[in-house]
Chain A
């Protein structure tokens, strides 16, 4: 990771550097310890609620919602081990395994499907995975998602779908200095930072769907963070403090 000082000095003027420091101050970083703590805490609360609803652990299906090697399976693996879910009889599946989902839900006939991820932005990606998965579900299953942080846009979307969210943090638009609905930064400063972001990444300068999110995860950054934090593609000419894996040059 690049040093903060060097990152800031990529900006030519003192004014721009000051704005970058202000933006950096609003980054919400979720460490591995914190992520684990949130997931475990929320999972315990969810399991307790499900227990009261007479759903035992062997009726719970934990589902990762993304490709192997990406965040969701990692989160699933983390909670599986830390909460000893396997020993308690819980089931584990990948949302792409339609056959497995069909087989397990047929066997259980009722229960809960618990999706796991580290971050939900707009909820679009989650919706795609879930729509595919639900085609193969048979029986009566309530749906939940365990996620350390979720944007308010994603929260509204998932709530509309009827997926109950268990999260440690709902990332409001107001918490994102470069979001049009935020007043964390004076408008001239915000406009200047947006301009810088556009120079770095002309497309999606404020991240996916212009969300300009500020949550950064210990494993990777969401695709919804502003370009100034993420950096250019292949990290040149502007390198970011929080690049995504796919942004890195091949030799790193």
Chain B
């Protein structure tokens, strides 16, 4: 029966109970790509010092895949890594023998349980290539029959924003998804390309008559071609297109011009994003005004001295209003996040 582990969220409920043994490091197979080892060196050093002094106090959880001599780690990669380092440095336990690791040996997890557990680790590496995570999320959605962001977030430990981004990737046909699974970073299309391109494609299919004739996949091919030919120098530049369209909302003539430019952008391989759309969004004052508004809003709120408001009705109304502001600010802040694939150099 699965047991609840206190150190993790709901995800850890998949870790079953098992038989306790003491294993040498040579009996254990490390995880192929556990990102936590890359990140938290100071904490790892602290843990190593602690283990050198007291040994491993909390058992790791391992299982043995069929045909494999070594035990694979389900939980406890950092403890294993510390003991491995200590062993390599010649450190021994109080008995003078290499330090052993107490391990809870469990049955191999089911595919879905293994995936959910890996998600609990993967949420530490937001800057990693997202496509493999998206493919795993697809399996979770299919197996568990849910596409609800909140439920998936609780299950996987991924943020709702990450889930939304994964879903954006899954919107594209497999042949495009494959381009983000290219082992060579120089030729790989970064996942962020698809995420940033998605609203542009939606817009083009809705408004740009000539681009529509290419069909959605044809239009996507055009964008890939442009990216490869450096006519899209940063995936963030896709936002220029969306910004241009948004800003022309109250000006039909300008809107028509933006739509024509979108057609030109898709159909002319030589047209570069900023060249095509900078003229529609060169006005920097908007952002400066928004920053001023944020500062003014904060200063004004502080001046009102609201922290000790006593009236129940007023407090509740104010809290509701603040929540509304917070939700909008959160969504805006998240929409402004993002960037190019860190491994791919850009001009």
- Mask: chain B, 123-146; 1 = CB below 8 Å from A; 0 = not: 000000101100110010000000
**Which residues of A line the B interface, CB within 8 A?**
49-50, 53-55, 95-96, 98-99, 102, 106, 109-112, 128-132, 134-144, 160-162, 164
Given contacts A132-B183, A139-B114, contact A162 B66 (CB under 8 A): no
Choice from B68, B111, B132, B139 contacting A164 with Cβ under 8 Å: B68
Asked if B29 and A102 make an inter-chain contact with CB atoms under 8 angstroms apart, the answer reads no
A135 & B132 in contact (Cβ 8 Å cutoff):
yes
With a CB–CB cut-off of 8 A, which chain A residues contact B102? none
Q: Which residues on B are within 8 Å of A, measured CB to CB?
A: 28-30, 32-33, 63, 65-70, 72, 108-111, 114-115, 129, 131-132, 135-136, 139, 174, 177-178, 181-183
> When the two chains form their complex, are residues B65 and A110 in contact, meaning their CB atoms are under 8 A apart?
yes
The closest CB in chain A to the CB of B109 belongs to A140
> Residues of B contacting A99 with CB < 8 Å?
135, 174, 177-178, 181
A43 to B: closest C-beta gap in Å: 14
Given A139-B111, A139-B114: A102 touches B132 (CB 8 Å cut-off) = yes
**A131-B66 contact given A136-B132, A138-B136, CB 8 Å threshold:** no
Chain B nearest Cβ from A53, distance in angstroms: 4
Closest to A131 in B: B33
Leading 5 A-B pairs by shortest Cβ distance: A162-B29, A142-B68, A134-B32, A98-B181, A53-B67
Cα distance A129–B32 in the bound complex, in angstroms: 11
Given contacts A99-B181, A109-B111, 8 further A-B contacts (CB under 8 A): A49-B67, A55-B66, A99-B177, A110-B65, A131-B33, A140-B63, A140-B109, A141-B65
In the assembled complex, the Cα of A50 lies from the Cα of B136 at a distance in Å of 27
> Which residues of chain A are near B108, meaning CB under 8 Å?
110, 140
For the complex, give the distance between the alpha carbons of A136 and B118 in Å.
12
Instruction: List the A side residues contacting B132 at CB < 8 Å.
Output: 98, 102, 135-136
Which A residues are CB-close (under 8 A) to B111?
106, 109, 138-140
Q: How far is the CA of A143 from the CA of B72 in the complex (A)?
A: 11
With a cutoff of 8 Å between Cβ atoms, the chain A residues found around residue B109 in the complex are 140
Contact A53 B66 (CB under 8 A): yes
- Measured in the bound complex, the distance between the Cα atoms of B65 and A54 in whole Å is 11
28 of the cross-chain contacts (CB-CB < 8 Å) are: A55-B67, A95-B183, A96-B182, A96-B183, A98-B178, A98-B183, A99-B174, A99-B177, A102-B135, A106-B139, A110-B65, A110-B66, A128-B183, A129-B183, A132-B183, A138-B111, A138-B139, A140-B65, A140-B72, A140-B109, A140-B111, A140-B114, A141-B65, A142-B66, A142-B67, A142-B68, A144-B67, A162-B30
Q: How far is the CA of A162 from the CA of B72 in the complex (A)?
A: 8
**Min distance, Cβ A150 to any Cβ of chain B, angstroms:** 17
Cα A62 to Cα B30 with chains together (Å): 22
A78 to B29 CA separation, bound complex (whole angstroms): 30
Q: Chain B nearest CB: distance from A1 CB in Å?
A: 32
When chains A and B are docked, how far (Å) is the Cα of A130 from the Cα of B31?
Answer: 12
